[in-house]
Chains A and B, each alone.
Chain A
């Protein structure tokens, strides 16, 4: 791709970008959100039109405007949120748009498609049922289906956007095996990820983008994590995690023998001024614990003691009134009102103090929201800016401001830095520290072990709906957490 440019109203999303990919190469693409990676990929895949520039495959210049034309040229792309149709079977998805028909009556030849799908999966060393709906498969399995779907036709270029975002460690290993196999067959792979460690494991070359420009392209062996971060944010980051020391106070939350759905006998305590890390694999039940505390799911058995009293939350409303806040994992889907202003998003959970009789007192609202704007350093032109126009980090700050406005006593962060730029992560950690300095209790759920280890005072590990261990600060290590997080699983396989 040579000299690619793309304008959006008001911004230059790509500024004279040139990018090359060798045969059988894994070329990693790095950059903060909004750096232009996704735009570049969308142009490559034909989903967006370029304003200027040329694309060559081999020595030949190619020109295409739709994803299907790109596919014919051997360009495939796997988006972070897959584009599979959940109700169709895996085989149907793989052959979507190029179904195999029986010679008589042109009916779908389901058996043949299934066989071919199975064969393709076997070539990748995978065993997945292809005759059941995709929504019955795990995330990792769905990803394999996506890979088979894109590689089925003569693929020459495969772009993967954050492929490991929701995979477990062993699933990532498996994915890497598949990537290496594709590579050995001469497929060029563009690999986009926020997880820098991965890049060093799988990549050949790495290109860093910032503000729609290419900053550098280097061989993996000639660079290191620190260097890459510096290039991504454009400055030196002193420490990944801010230091803090807060005196930990008395208990503020106790869960006693909570049962609900997959959660079994959960006992958990949180103290004032404490950051409690909740570790575990995806699906271990961490988010479910958060939802129970927040009143989003009703408990079947057990007690919640909060602020010295037993609480029976019937809805999030009760929990919020008591002083509990939850920043959900997917803030775009479950946290924010995208088309509404920052101001409305912040005040929504506690409008009562802003009322003048029956009406919302706009001046009071602007003043209250203004305070959080300064305090959290939300970067936006005005309070009236729609949330959909904010970056991930600023969106997270908006949700946090909402919960400060409700005078929360404990705040639960589910994946607090997912989809947030490296530079802003530090800011979020500092904010969490400030919360506990003010005597709040904080629970952090995270799949990034280094993050949990970096900020928690204590870590509780879950596996398959149970708590399998607790680690004090001096005991923290990735190995210990992983061992506890897979404990129950190993037992099951041993049986």
Chain B
């Protein structure tokens, strides 16, 4: 048994590898079926469409690696969006308002993640319940705060975040790439990353190995909160308004991307590269189906089937 393939570090690489092959296969099929699919413009468009949920999925990967879950991400998108857009309307010079509004949105992500972390670690309430509560709280708060009306008439420069391009590449795509590169490095090369895997693999063993488990757990919810807030701001910029119903059901898309990417809901196993491929796999699927004029209801069915197949594939590989 000692020499079995599962021992080798290549095995983990292999599981990402096989997912990547499925992904390439998918790209190949759509390229054949639609002449528009494999154009630079459409591919950049896919990354743009994927970026909002993918950025959140990076944060969700941290949380799920600790065997937790964060259901509040979609509502965070909404509240961070309305908070930032409302702050943009403060009557101050733009060079002051802009950073303040962005920081305000991000800070909100920190606070919400911190609250989740405290409830999970100090009061020992399961993450599912804590973040479920936060999900309805922030959704409600978004509507109360805006009176149910979207926030319009924002400074022109704000729209750059969601709609601007640098060297032809959409700004959200650039942010997404940065988020994934940094997350990957943090998870694989730093002490913090090691501890995240340890806490998720065996919480009590981690504590007895001298890891400050409460700090790690709180941190992952803060990371998830901040990345959700970033997505919220990007989305608000893209639609050029603060919408209280933004990000509805995002938590499910995000969890799907993470799980398709091979991260175990039981914690301790998974990679950020897997999540990236998972997010792209779903985004390409939706884009391709759109190009083929498949209706959105049928799309939902297809996406659901693909999630099941991807997870099934992962299960079979485990055996």
The reply to whether the CB of A97 lies closer than 8 angstroms to some CB of chain B is no
Q: Which residues of B contact A58 (CB under 8 A)?
A: none
Decide if B4 touches A402 in the complex (CB within 8 Å): no
On whether A340 and B198 interact (CB within 8 A), knowing A315-B207, A355-B191, the answer reads yes
Q: Which residues of A contact B8 (CB under 8 A)?
A: 382, 384
- Residues 127-153 of B, flagged 1 when their CB comes within 8 A of A and 0 if not, give 000000000000000000000000000
Q: Which residues of B contact A9 (CB under 8 A)?
A: 1, 4-5
**Selected contact of A386 from candidates B3, B6, B208, B211, CB within 8 Å:** B6
On whether A316 and B204 interact (CB within 8 A), knowing A348-B198, A359-B189, the answer reads no
Interface stretch, picked from A176-184, A203-211, A320-328, A435-443, is: A320-328
The reply to whether the CB of A238 lies closer than 8 angstroms to some CB of chain B is no
Q: Which residues of A contact B5 (CB under 8 A)?
A: 9
Within 8 A of B (CB), among A1-56: 8-11
Q: Which residues of B contact A336 (CB under 8 A)?
A: 202, 205
Decide if B4 touches A360 in the complex (CB within 8 Å): no
Decide if B210 touches A351 in the complex (CB within 8 Å): no
The reply to whether the CB of B7 lies closer than 8 angstroms to some CB of chain A is yes
Tell me the minimal C-beta distance from A331 to chain B in angstroms.
9
Decide if B202 touches A380 in the complex (CB within 8 Å): no
Contact size class for A? 35 or more
On whether A11 and B1 interact (CB within 8 A), knowing A341-B9, A349-B210, the answer reads yes
The reply to whether the CB of B167 lies closer than 8 angstroms to some CB of chain A is no
Tell me the minimal C-beta distance from A466 to chain B in angstroms.
25
- Residues 187-203 of B, flagged 1 when their CB comes within 8 A of A and 0 if not, give 00111001101100110
The reply to whether the CB of A95 lies closer than 8 angstroms to some CB of chain B is no
Decide if A10 touches B191 in the complex (CB within 8 Å): no
Q: Which residues of A contact B4 (CB under 8 A)?
A: 9-10, 389
Tell me the minimal C-beta distance from A369 to chain B in angstroms.
13
Q: Which residues of B contact A380 (CB under 8 A)?
A: 2
The reply to whether the CB of B268 lies closer than 8 angstroms to some CB of chain A is yes
CB closest residue in chain A, given B199: A337
Decide if A358 touches B205 in the complex (CB within 8 Å): no
Decide if B268 touches A337 in the complex (CB within 8 Å): yes
**Selected contact of B189 from candidates A320, A334, A341, A360, CB within 8 Å:** A360
**Selected contact of A348 from candidates B9, B204, B209, B268, CB within 8 Å:** B209
CB closest residue in chain B, given A388: B6
A358 vs B191: C-alpha distance in the bound complex, in angstroms?
Answer: 8
A406 vs B198: C-alpha distance in the bound complex, in angstroms?
Answer: 17
Q: Which residues of B contact A338 (CB under 8 A)?
A: 201-202
**Selected contact of B191 from candidates A321, A340, A351, A402, CB within 8 Å:** A351
Decide if B1 touches A384 in the complex (CB within 8 Å): no
The reply to whether the CB of B212 lies closer than 8 angstroms to some CB of chain A is yes
The reply to whether the CB of B238 lies closer than 8 angstroms to some CB of chain A is no
The reply to whether the CB of B269 lies closer than 8 angstroms to some CB of chain A is yes
A385 vs B208: C-alpha distance in the bound complex, in angstroms?
Answer: 22
The reply to whether the CB of A363 lies closer than 8 angstroms to some CB of chain B is no
Q: Which residues of A contact B269 (CB under 8 A)?
A: 339
CB closest residue in chain A, given B207: A316
A117 vs B212: C-alpha distance in the bound complex, in angstroms?
Answer: 47
Within 8 A of B (CB), among A283-318: 294, 296, 315-317
A320 vs B268: C-alpha distance in the bound complex, in angstroms?
Answer: 23
- Residues 367-411 of A, flagged 1 when their CB comes within 8 A of B and 0 if not, give 000000000000011101110010000000000001000100000
Decide if A348 touches B208 in the complex (CB within 8 Å): no
On whether A340 and B197 interact (CB within 8 A), knowing A11-B1, A389-B6, the answer reads yes
CB closest residue in chain B, given A354: B191
- Residues 5-28 of B, flagged 1 when their CB comes within 8 A of A and 0 if not, give 111110000000000000000000
Decide if B201 touches A339 in the complex (CB within 8 Å): yes
**Selected contact of B197 from candidates A10, A317, A337, CB within 8 Å:** A337
**Selected contact of B208 from candidates A296, A344, A351, CB within 8 Å:** A296
On whether A386 and B197 interact (CB within 8 A), knowing A8-B1, A334-B205, the answer reads no
Tell me the minimal C-beta distance from A206 to chain B in angstroms.
27
A355 vs B189: C-alpha distance in the bound complex, in angstroms?
Answer: 10
Q: Which residues of B contact A133 (CB under 8 A)?
A: none
Decide if B194 touches A334 in the complex (CB within 8 Å): no
Tell me the minimal C-beta distance from B74 to chain A in angstroms.
30
A382 vs B6: C-alpha distance in the bound complex, in angstroms?
Answer: 12
**Selected contact of A333 from candidates B185, B205, B210, B268, CB within 8 Å:** B205
Q: Which of B185, B190, B212 has the most CB of A within 10 A?
A: B190
Decide if B208 touches A337 in the complex (CB within 8 Å): no
A335 vs B208: C-alpha distance in the bound complex, in angstroms?
Answer: 7
**Selected contact of B9 from candidates A11, A349, A384, CB within 8 Å:** A384
Tell me the minimal C-beta distance from B194 to chain A in angstroms.
6
Tell me the minimal C-beta distance from A257 to chain B in angstroms.
25
Tell me the minimal C-beta distance from B14 to chain A in angstroms.
14
Q: Which residues of B contact A344 (CB under 8 A)?
A: 194, 197-198
A105 vs B37: C-alpha distance in the bound complex, in angstroms?
Answer: 62
Within 8 A of A (CB), among B214-249: none
Tell me the minimal C-beta distance from A296 to chain B in angstroms.
6
Within 8 A of A (CB), among B239-284: 268-269
Q: Which residues of B contact A10 (CB under 8 A)?
A: 1, 3-4
Q: Which residues of A contact B191 (CB under 8 A)?
A: 351-352, 355, 360
Decide if A358 touches B190 in the complex (CB within 8 Å): yes
Q: Which residues of B contact A341 (CB under 8 A)?
A: 9
CB closest residue in chain B, given A291: B208
Q: Which residues of B contact A349 (CB under 8 A)?
A: 209-211
Q: A294-B208, A337-B201, A359-B185 are in contact. List 15 more A-B contacts (CB 8 A).
A: A10-B4, A296-B208, A316-B208, A316-B210, A317-B211, A333-B204, A334-B208, A339-B201, A340-B198, A341-B9, A381-B2, A381-B3, A382-B7, A384-B7, A389-B1
Task: Give me 22 A-to-B residue pairs in the complex whose CB atoms sit less than 8 angstroms apart, sorted by A's number.
Answer: A9-B4, A10-B1, A315-B207, A316-B208, A316-B210, A317-B212, A321-B210, A334-B208, A336-B202, A339-B201, A344-B197, A348-B195, A348-B211, A351-B191, A358-B189, A381-B2, A381-B3, A384-B7, A385-B2, A385-B7, A386-B7, A389-B4
Chain B positions near chain A (C-beta within 8 angstroms)? 1-9, 185, 189-191, 194-195, 197-198, 201-202, 204-212, 268-269
Closest 10 CB pairs of A and B: A320-B210, A337-B201, A317-B210, A359-B189, A384-B9, A10-B4, A385-B7, A349-B210, A349-B209, A351-B191
